Structures are given as structure tokens and as C-alpha cells.
Amino acid sequence: MNDKKCGIHELYAENPEQADLLVWGRKVDPITRRGFFKKSGLAAMTAFLGAHIPFADKMPGGLIPAAMAAGEDSFAIQGKEGLTILNDRPINAETPPHLLDNNITPAKYLFVRNNGMPPKENEIDVDTWTLEITGESCEKPTTFTIAELKEKFKQYTYQLQLECGGNGRSAYDPPARGNQWSLGAVGCPKWTGVRLKDVLDYCGVKKDAIYIGYYGADKHLSGNPNKQPISRGVPIAKAMEDKMLIAWSMNDEKIPLLNGYPLRLLCSGWPASTSGKWLKKIVIRNKIHDGTKMTGKAYRIPCESVAPGTKVKDDDMCIIESMPVKSLITFPKTGVEHKLTEGKLAIRGHAWAGDLSVERLLVSIDFGATWRVAKLKKPVNRFAWQHWNAEIEFPEKGYYEIWAKAMDDNGVSQPMVVPGWNPKGYLNNSCHRIAVQVV
């Protein structure tokens, strides 16, 4: 080996099993995938973590301890607090899990995912902002002001969850190109607007309609006015669901600029890229919408499972629809210290499942060897995330990881490890885990 130096995250990203061997002297059983420590390796990890590890024999191989996986780098942008920056052109930022503890996500903690340059707020006139409904399968093309939308259609308020399709991308190996989201490209604010279906019905949907697509007022990074940064959409059946909204309000206030002010689309349950921001036009199509980032490999996964690193033809990629079942531990923050004499530790978080609901939430403190059922609440409305809580009792002092695993109402559970690889690093719904030091 050469003497090149690299950080532990880079080492694990390149080859997790080799990293285990180099850093801790831990070998991986090819059948059980459990890691086996030499005494010196276990002593090294124990020394690093500062505590005995009661369930060390059950720790999966190639897994960097959660206590080492979290970063603290943050940045500040107007109206946001504590978000971690991933990119500044365009601005993309995620929220650390412990800041997502609120049942309703505050505006300051909602992640930012942009593909282009948003319009400048001082150039937006809410009174003259218009939304055009058109397309080859629209019977009566119509243009509305926001005031006319409020006047002509009944208004609804729903709590709707949004999650970037690439949330969790940073865990894929080999690495996938794109923003290296960890867990925080998700949120569930309260939105107010009119139902998309009511507006589409008013304008008339022809029998040959297949899809809708959106266009926003954001500009391409190149500055070329003939290029769209993003223009995606959903099938008509999804667009006509009751809780798909054209919204102008978030948490009873105006939508933050970076989250779509003054008007945006909400197609909850599917990748947040289908929920267009700075909404200016919706087209009713007689074919699958072919706007920017609807073709090629964008927001698509292989139609059939492939080996990591496989080159996949565009024709063999299928559009992502419903997001997979997932959960977060939002309290306590990873790395917390808990006194054994204080008894049980209260934990809580959220869970969601795309177009489905979450049926069960399980937690583990022995690296997934055993699980116990947590208390799970029903959503306040369809497409809102569900809150869960549990109390954990630790058998002795030491280093622990609390893992959370949700199961949807089809019986599908989150995997304990990163799921099947795909070229763009979408849909990672592996279990969330936090570190706890019991002293």
C-alpha cells in the first residue's frame, strides 16, 4: 500500500470491508455479513467510542459506527437555520435529523432542493403572477391569477410530506453522481391551496390524457432562456388524487422563496421533483411528459436489479413513482450521553411510505439482531408522515446504536443495509441509526 492519507468516510466509501480490516482489524463473514473483531481491533473501536460495546458481536461488517457518521458543518441562508449545505450553484441544503423533530416541519427547517436559479423575490408580483393550464389534452386552456384561484375554487389545507428522490444518496457504493444527501432532504409542512384536480376539471381533461407536466419561473444555470432547469410531472391518475395541491401558503404563511414562493405544486408521496416550484404553467399531455429531467436516467431506476457499478441503458430505466417506506429518529440527537441510573431513554421520530401508510415501527439496540415494536400514530391526513415513540432500556453501560425500521401496509420493511444500487443513487431507505453512550 502507498502512504496516501484519507479520512475514515473516504476509506469506507471506497471499500467498506477493507476499511473494517485496516481500521479495526475486523473481518466479515461472507454468509452472515457480521464482522469479527480481533481483540486489538475491538479495543481500538472501544477506545475511539469511549465505551464498551455490549453487542459488538452482532455489528454488521463494513459499517462505520453511527457516532462517526454524523457531521456538524452547517451554513446560514435567509429564512433557514442549521441546514447543511451540499451545493451553492444551485443552492441545495439538507436538515440534520434532530432538527426535524417537530410534528409539522417549520419553514426554517425545510430542506432546499433546486435545479436552477430561483426568481428574485423583489421581482415577484403576487397580484400579477399567473398560472396557465394548457396542453394537447386540455379542452379549455385557461390562465389564472392567484386571486382567481382563491376565488373560483374551494381551498384546502393538508400536511403533506416531501422527500427528494436522492435522499440517502451518500451511502451508495460505488458513489452515484449528484448531491450527496444523507438523511435530511425530507420534511412535512402544512400547505394551503386548491386541489389540482379541481383546476384540471375546470379546464377540461380530454379522454386521451395520460400525464401532466409543470413549468416554473426558475432559470437554467447557464442563463440560456431557451433551456429549462427542470420540467417534470405525474400520470393523470396521480394528478387527480384529492390531496394534490396548487399551494400558495406553507404553515399559514407565504411559502419561502427557496421552497417555491409564490405558487407551487404538491404531488406528495412521489419524489419531490414532481412538486414544481415557482409554478407558471401546467400542461395536460396525451403522452408521458418529456420535459427536462423526465428522460434518460433522471429520476429513474433500473427496471430490473443490477450489480453495483453496472452501466444501464436509458431504455432499461423506469420512472420513479411512489417513494419507499422510511423512518427517522429525531430525538435524541445522535451522540447523546445517557446515564444508566436514569432508567429508560425516550426516543421518537417520524415514518412515511410514499403512496402507502406505515403499519409498524420497530427499534433495535443490538444492531438489528432483535427488534421491539414502538408506538405509532396514524397520519393526520393521507400523505402526512406518522409519528412514533418508544422507551429504550439498556442492559449495561457502553456504546449502543438505536436503529429504526418502518413497515408499510403491504408488509414491506426498510432494509437494514443500503438497498439495491442504481446509477443515480435514488431511493435509499435503509434503517436510520443513532449513537448513544450509556454511562
> Does pLDDT of 250 surpass 60?
yes
Name the percent of the chain lying above pLDDT 90. Answer: 79
> Does pLDDT of 15 surpass 90?
no
Enumerate domains of the chain plus CATH numbers: 8-64 (no CATH), 102-319 (3.90.420.10), 326-438 (2.60.40.650)
Closest CA to 195 of 146, 241, 127: 241
Per-residue pLDDT, 200: 98
In terms of average pLDDT, the best of 102-106, 172-176, 415-419 is 102-106
Per-residue pLDDT, 11: 67
Question: What's the whole-number mean pLDDT along residues 226-237?
Answer: 97
Stated pTM of the model: 0.88
> What is the C-alpha separation between 386 and 153, in angstroms, rounded?
29
Beta strands in 25-129 (DSSP E): 26-28, 35-37, 84-88, 91-94, 112-113
Joined together, the cell numbers standing for residue 37 give 473483531
> Does pLDDT of 2 surpass 50?
no
Per-residue pLDDT, 1: 37
> What is the C-alpha separation between 218 and 198, in angstroms, rounded?
25
Q: Using 50, 70 and 90 to split pLDDT, how confident is the model at 69? A: low
Q: Using 50, 70 and 90 to split pLDDT, how confident is the model at 76? A: low
Encode burial over 358-389: b for 16+ CB neighbours within 10 A, e otherwise.
Answer: bbbbbbbbbbbeebeebebeebbebbbbbbbe
Question: What's the whole-number mean pLDDT along residues 351-356?
Answer: 98
Question: What's the whole-number mean pLDDT along residues 219-227?
Answer: 91
In this structure, is the dihedral angle defined by the CA atoms of residues 162, 168, 174 and 175, taken in order, positive or negative?
positive
> What are the angstrom distances between the C-alpha of 91 and each of 54, 225, 239, 259?
42, 19, 28, 11
Question: What's the whole-number mean pLDDT along residues 387-395?
Answer: 98
Question: What's the whole-number mean pLDDT along residues 165-185?
Answer: 94
Per-residue pLDDT, 18: 78
Question: What's the whole-number mean pLDDT along residues 311-339?
Answer: 97
* Contacts for 39 with CB less than 8 Å, ≥ 6 apart: none
Per-residue pLDDT, 426: 98
> Does pLDDT of 429 surpass 50?
yes
Per-residue pLDDT, 375: 98
pLDDT tens string 94-135 = 999 999 999 999 999 999 999 999 999 999 999 999 999 999
Of the candidate ranges 41-55, 193-207, 232-246, 269-283, the one whose mean pLDDT is the lowest: 41-55
> Does pLDDT of 74 surpass 60?
no
The CB-based long-range contact list for 56-60 (8 Å cut-off, 24+ gap) reads 58/34, 58/366, 58/367, 58/368, 58/369, 59/34, 59/35, 59/367, 60/33, 60/34, 60/35, 60/367, 60/368, 60/416, 60/417
Of the candidate ranges 169-178, 236-245, 361-370, the one whose mean pLDDT is the lowest: 169-178
Question: What's the whole-number mean pLDDT along residues 261-266?
Answer: 98
* Contacts for 43 with CB less than 8 Å, ≥ 6 apart: none
Of the candidate ranges 31-35, 165-169, 399-403, the one whose mean pLDDT is the lowest: 31-35
Q: Using 50, 70 and 90 to split pLDDT, how confident is the model at 3? A: very low
In terms of C-beta density within 10 A (0-12 exposed, 13-18 middle, 19 or more buried), how is residue 273 classed?
Answer: buried
Per-residue pLDDT, 70: 56
In terms of C-beta density within 10 A (0-12 exposed, 13-18 middle, 19 or more buried), how is residue 74 classed?
Answer: middle
285 versus 72: which is more confidently predicted?
A: 285
Per-residue pLDDT, 280: 98
> Does pLDDT of 261 surpass 60?
yes
> Does pLDDT of 312 surpass 50?
yes
Kindly report the average pLDDT of the chain as a whole number. 92
> Does pLDDT of 31 surpass 90?
no
Query: What is the three-class DSSP state of 336?
Result: strand
Torsion of the alpha carbons at 193, 195, 200 and 205, rounded to the nearest 10: 170
Per-residue pLDDT, 4: 45
In terms of C-beta density within 10 A (0-12 exposed, 13-18 middle, 19 or more buried), how is residue 6 classed?
Answer: exposed
Residue keyed to cell 457499478: 309
> Does pLDDT of 71 surpass 60?
no
10 versus 3: which is more confidently predicted?
A: 10
29 versus 391: which is more confidently predicted?
A: 391
Q: Using 50, 70 and 90 to split pLDDT, how confident is the model at 37? A: confident
Check residue 289 and report its DSSP letter: -
